[in-house]
Amino acid sequence: MYFRGTWGCNLALSATIGIPQALLYYKYYPLWEGFLKGLGAEVVSSNVTTKRIVNAGTSVAENELCLPVKIFFGHLIELKDKVDALFVPRVISVEQGTYTCPKFLGLPDLARAVDAKLPKILDPTFNTRLGRRHFYEALFDFGKTFTNSKYKIWRAWMTGVAAQKAYQKKLLAGVSPLEALGGDAGAILSTGDLKIGIAGHPYNVHDPYINLNLIKKLKKWGAQVVTEEMILPRVLEHEANKLPKRLFWSYEREVVGAAFHWLQTRTVDGIIYILSFACGQDSLIQVLLETEAKKHEGIPFMSLVIDEHSGEAGLITRVEAFIDMLRWRSLS
Amino acid sequence: MKGFLGVDVGSVSTNLVVLGEHGDVISLIYRRTQGQPINAVQEGMKEIQADLPGDIEIIGVGTTGSGRYLSGVIVGADIVKNEITAHAVAASHVVPQVRTVLEIGGQDSKIILLRDGIVVDFAMNTVCAAGTGSFLDHQSTRLGIPIEEFGSYALESTVSCQIAGRCSVFAESDMIHKQQMGYRMEDIIYGLCQALVRNYLNNLAKGKELLSPIVFQGGVAANAGMKKAFEESLQIEIVIPEYHHVMGAIGAALLARGTVRDGKTNFKGFEISSIDYQTRSFHCKGCENNCEIVRIQVGGKTLACWGGRCGKWEVATAEEAELLLQTSV
């Protein structure tokens, strides 16, 4: 059986389940929250990443992992004493013919290997590669942990889907994920004279700790910021298909699609690409993006590589110089 | 006589320049920072004041370099700019048609591409310092040859000697090996210059179009061996500006000239060289991040604070900083 539920026994209806504010949180939190609440669970999420969380994560994680995964572990540790179980789904594939990052495929296993005593880990599998039937079978199988009523499981899922749709609509309209999820995003109105596209994985782009508050800084310096969430999925899909060979990672297709869209439509003054130092996919699409950006003269492209050793001084210098460069252009 | 002051506080050197109203260099100071940026700026101010004509009136100040915020507070800057912009401004002032700027400083190196007087692309070393001035500095100490003489040694080289320049530690092992094999010192030194150039071009210039005129600036540009190695590798003539070692400060002064209107400058005067500045750092308890905040004080009064992720300490005035200190520490 391709779906392996490892949680074993039934959870009490009022169980508190923790969702770490890291990695796919920025993409699917409303879906997961709606689904779990619909099943009768209490849901809590961790707070924004702090130094303590980063230190906790990096101290238990394998050294070769990327910073976002290490931070994910930090969030698990942050939640461990507050919840009955942790929600760490195995997101294998979210559309036909593609995969997600290999670390997402093994995330529950990586989490179990973390050197810290963690509560029970709930790891439903989300895999659309094998078709709808398998996907929903897995869903019902997971739902059985909470209830035997297939109807209730279905209704819970649909509640999550509705919340997710509403969330994505907000993001499309330009609300940042943290704002949409009710957290503080240091919302400064974007009324700048420059428009900058921020490419990169949402967990890098929207975690102010990982990117050293890049978005807030850009806004303070008078730049409007646009991200991939503000582009229609079919547009991302269309743009990503311009690559001679289909990328087989979904989320990276979205990053590529967004950057290509901005370059193609010339709707931004410049693009900043945030990437993790240890990320395999990022290292590959960085080259694809840089090559494509060269073909579109007049839209500067800059990569910012981030890991736990990143110094703020170097990052600020680069971003300041990037903004100066864009302003200088628009003056002449 | 009116002038603009530019201050560039880098990791290795602290440079001050006073430009006339037309951008001509009236006076310049180049000195080592020696890990004491405040002292270096104060001593530099003393020196440059002694060198300047008595009737000089500073009508604008700009600061740049990694110590730009600190020096900006001390001298009263009208503009605080990053070193990439400052170097680009200075290069296009000295060589108006410049299309490529190579800059190698103490602990960082940059490449800036300009087209029609506008910066179109730039890069700065990120994870490694193998392609910077301290690499040469370190090797010169080891070889017992003053860094100032490195260039003339390199030019004496007759047979080039391949040194592994990927990492400065491995370059050193390789160099020791070459010495033990009996290679001439001149060839080894030129080999080092070539290794540095190779490293620079691989790291920073990768995939970029380096078009003439190319201006080479920063402290390392004083090394004639480096110029030769760049020219050999790129097959293009390299221009080294007269004031190559203080281009950052020149850029900062030029930026000040472009910023200050109606002569309203924040300049605090040359007297600041005798003020006793103190820096203190503390951990902000505003949130779990416990950021380390630096505060600069004079006689127990806070002038400015910075550091911290949220940006709340970079407040505009000293009064606000004082208020914030009372409420959140």
**Position A31: which residue type?**
L
State mean pLDDT over A150-177.
94
**Same-domain status, B213 and B253:** no
- The residue that leads in pLDDT, B168 or A99, is A99
Contact at CB, A314 and B120, closer than 8 angstroms: no
Structural domain for B314, as ranges: 278-328
Cβ neighbours of residue A267 closer than 8 Å, sequence gap 6 or more: A195, A197, A226, A261
Taking 80 as the threshold, does the pLDDT of residue B328 lie above it? no
List residues bridging with B109 in a β-sheet: B104
Nearest CA in chain B to A49: B289
Cβ neighbours of residue B226 closer than 8 Å, sequence gap 6 or more: B104, B151, B154, B193, B196, B197, B216, B220
**Same-domain status, A31 and A95:** yes
Cβ neighbours of residue B225 closer than 8 Å, sequence gap 6 or more: B150, B151, B153, B154, B155, B157, B189, B190, B193
In chain B, what's the furthest Cα-to-Cα distance? 68
Q: Are A257 and A240 in contact (CB under 8 A)?
A: yes
Task: For residues A125 and B130, give the distance between their C-alpha atoms in angstroms, rounded to a whole number.
Answer: 46
Contact at CB, A317 and B83, closer than 8 angstroms: yes
**Same-domain status, B236 and B109:** yes
**Same-domain status, A159 and A266:** no
**Same-domain status, B58 and B118:** no
Nearest CA in chain A to B107: A314
pLDDT of residue B251: 96
**Same-domain status, B32 and B124:** no
pLDDT of residue A5: 41
Q: Which of A143, A172, A201 is the last residue of a domain?
A: A172
Secondary element (H or E) of residue A200 = none
Nearest CA in chain A to B290: A51
**Same-domain status, B79 and B129:** no
**Same-domain status, A141 and A259:** no
Residue in B66, B120, B309 nearest the CB of A213 = B309
> What CATH number is associated with residue A9?
3.40.50
Q: Are B185 and B258 in contact (CB under 8 A)?
A: no
pLDDT of residue B105: 86
Retrieve residue A62's tokens. Answer: 């394998």
State mean pLDDT over B126-131.
71
**Same-domain status, B207 and B313:** no
Residue in A220, A300, A312 nearest the CB of B121 = A300
Query: DSSP labels for A17-80?
Result: EEE-SSTTHHHHHHHHHHHHHHTT-EEEE--S--HHHHHHHHHHS-TTS-HHHHHHHHHHHHHT
The whole-model pTM stands at 0.87
Cβ neighbours of residue A265 closer than 8 Å, sequence gap 6 or more: none
Q: Where are the alpha helices (DSSP H) in chain A?
A: 25-38, 51-60, 67-79, 102-105, 107-112, 132-143, 150-172, 177-180, 202-205, 214-220, 233-240, 250-265, 280-295, 312-331
**Same-domain status, A33 and A110:** yes
> What CATH number is associated with residue A242?
3.40.50.11900
Q: Which of A125, A140, A172 is the last residue of a domain?
A: A172
pLDDT of residue A41: 93
pLDDT of residue A33: 96
**Same-domain status, A74 and A108:** yes
Domain count for chain A, please give it.
Answer: 2
pLDDT of residue B160: 82
**Same-domain status, A67 and A158:** yes
What ipTM goes with this model?
A: 0.84
pLDDT of residue A190: 61
Q: For residue range B243-267, what is the model confidence (pLDDT) as tens digits?
A: 999 999 999 999 999 988 777 899 9
Contact at CB, A324 and B310, closer than 8 angstroms: no
Cβ neighbours of residue A268 closer than 8 Å, sequence gap 6 or more: A195, A196, A197, A226, A262, A299
pLDDT of residue A301: 93
The model's confidence at residue A4, banded by pLDDT at 50, 70 and 90, is very low
**Same-domain status, A210 and A323:** yes
Query: DSSP labels for B22-71?
Result: TS-EEEEEEEE-TT-HHHHHHHHHHHHHHHS-TT-EEEEEEEESTTHHHH
- How many helices (H) and strands (E) chain B has is answered by 10, 13
**Same-domain status, B162 and B34:** no
**Position B38: which residue type?**
I
pLDDT of residue A3: 35
**Same-domain status, B146 and B236:** yes
The model's confidence at residue A9, banded by pLDDT at 50, 70 and 90, is very low
Is A217 an 8 Å CB contact of chain B?
Answer: yes
Taking 90 as the threshold, does the pLDDT of residue A105 lie above it? yes
Residues in B touching A50 (Cβ below 8 Å):
287-289
Taking 80 as the threshold, does the pLDDT of residue B131 lie above it? no
B interface test, pick of A216, A289, A324 with most B CB neighbours within 10 Å: A324
**Same-domain status, A189 and A161:** no
**Same-domain status, A326 and A202:** yes
Taking 70 as the threshold, does the pLDDT of residue A332 lie above it? no
Give the position of tokens 């500073």: B58
**Same-domain status, A211 and A288:** yes
B116: distance to nearest CA of chain A, Å?
10
**Same-domain status, B25 and B64:** yes
Contact at CB, B85 and A321, closer than 8 angstroms: yes
Q: For residue range A12-53, what is the model confidence (pLDDT) as tens digits?
A: 557 899 999 999 999 999 999 999 999 999 999 999 999 999
Taking 70 as the threshold, does the pLDDT of residue B28 lie above it? yes
**Same-domain status, A166 and A41:** yes
Contact at CB, A209 and B309, closer than 8 angstroms: yes
Domain count for chain B, please give it.
Answer: 3
A50: distance to nearest CA of chain B, Å?
5
**Same-domain status, A50 and A117:** yes
Q: Are A135 and A129 in contact (CB under 8 A)?
A: no
Q: Which of A125, A148, A172 is the last residue of a domain?
A: A172
Q: For residue range B273-292, what is the model confidence (pLDDT) as tens digits?
A: 889 998 888 888 888 888 88
Q: For residue range A297-310, what is the model confidence (pLDDT) as tens digits?
A: 889 999 998 887 77
pLDDT of residue B98: 95
B interface test, pick of A219, A297, A325 with most B CB neighbours within 10 Å: A325
> What CATH number is associated with residue B33?
3.30.420.40
Structural domain for A262, as ranges: 177-331
**Same-domain status, B299 and B282:** yes
pLDDT of residue B329: 65
Task: For residues A308 and A192, give the distance between their C-alpha atoms in angstroms, rounded to a whole number.
Answer: 30
pLDDT of residue A12: 54
Q: For residue range A110-163, what is the model confidence (pLDDT) as tens digits?
A: 999 988 899 999 999 999 888 888 899 999 999 998 998 999 999 999 999 999
Nearest to A221 by CA among A231, A211, A213, A230: A213
A201 three-state secondary structure: coil
